[in-house]
């Protein structure tokens, strides 16, 4: 199963996949989680080897710009118990917003993992959001291999879809008509 990505769990707060035997998750810990619900949700992440996302938790261990909050204290305790480490060194905030003319910043977006590994190239970049994007490379003892993906030429694909729709209107039969889906786009998504 090397190189195959298998979706293990997907809900509104977590997408967990398995690749090369590692379980990697993208999370969104909305502010509605608190107290026992927060701790219960953290415990539900125990099967993951690596998690990245918006934790909405403050702790001086990773967010020196802000005071610890209850979620941050619980999260730090959970990370220690489960052996998770934060990837990379502190390189500034990962969230920023202007409220009433005042800039608010914090580091609530984290990349954490556990097990033997070598962090490489952990960095964050601000794009068109109030959150920075976090990117990292992890070498788990050389187990991973590079996967080459072909770049999609969206203009060509769009032209193909337009031609397919025109042919469909003319009553012409094509191989993709046997695929599930109501439109050529839906059919292609299922490939």
- How distant, in Å, are the alpha carbons of 6, 24, 32, 105, 125 from that of 102? 44, 36, 25, 10, 22
CA distance 53 to 182: 34
SS3 98: strand
- pLDDT at residue 176 above 60? no
pTM: 0.64
* For the chain, percent of residues with pLDDT exceeding 70: 64
Domain boundaries defined on the chain: 6-139, 154-189
pLDDT band at residue 78 using 50, 70 and 90 as cut-offs: very high
Q: What share of the chain is helix, strand, coil (3-state, %, to 5)?
A: 25, 30, 45
SS3 111: strand
- pLDDT at residue 1 above 60? no
- Number of residues that this document lists for the chain: 191
- pLDDT at residue 173 above 90? no
Q: Which residues contact 78 (CB under 8 A, 6 or more apart)?
A: 39, 42, 43, 84
- How distant, in Å, are the alpha carbons of 14, 26, 29, 111, 145 from that of 11? 5, 11, 12, 19, 28
Give the mean pLDDT of 31-50.
87
Average pLDDT score over the chain? 76
Check: CB of residue 139 under 8 Å from CB of residue 118.
yes
- pLDDT at residue 100 above 50? yes
* For the chain, percent of residues with pLDDT exceeding 90: 10
Q: Which fold is adopted by the domain 6-139?
A: Deoxyribonuclease I; Chain A (3.60.10)
SS3 115: coil
pLDDT band at residue 95 using 50, 70 and 90 as cut-offs: confident
Give the mean pLDDT of 41-68.
88
Check: CB of residue 49 under 8 Å from CB of residue 22.
yes
What tokens were used for 67?
């005071």
53, with CB counted inside 10 A (0-12, 13-18, 19+), is buried
Q: What is the predicted pLDDT for the residue at 141?
A: 63
Least reliable range by pLDDT among 72-86, 104-118, 139-153: 139-153
């Amino acid at each position: 199963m090397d190189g195959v990505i298998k979706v293990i769990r997907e809900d509104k707060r977590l997408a967990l996949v398995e690749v090369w035997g590692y379980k990697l998750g993208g999370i969104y810990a909305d502010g509605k989680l608190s107290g026992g619900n927060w701790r219960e949700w953290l415990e539900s992440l125990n099967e993951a080897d690596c998690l990245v996302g918006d934790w909405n938790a403050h702790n001086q261990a990773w967010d020196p710009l802000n005071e610890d909050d209850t979620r941050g204290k619980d999260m730090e305790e959970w990370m220690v118990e489960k052996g998770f480490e934060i990837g990379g060194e502190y390189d500034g905030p990962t969230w920023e917003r202007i409220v009433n003319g005042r800039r608010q910043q914090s580091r609530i977006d984290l990349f954490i993992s556990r097990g033997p590994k070598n962090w490489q190239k952990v960095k964050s970049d601000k794009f068109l959001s109030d959150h920075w994007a976090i990117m990292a490379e992890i070498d788990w003892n050389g187990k991973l291999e590079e996967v080459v993906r072909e770049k999609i030429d969206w203009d060509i694909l769009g032209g193909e879809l337009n031609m397919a729709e025109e042919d469909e209107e003319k009553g012409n039969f094509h191989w993709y008509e046997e695929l599930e889906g109501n439109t050529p786009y839906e059919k292609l998504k299922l490939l």
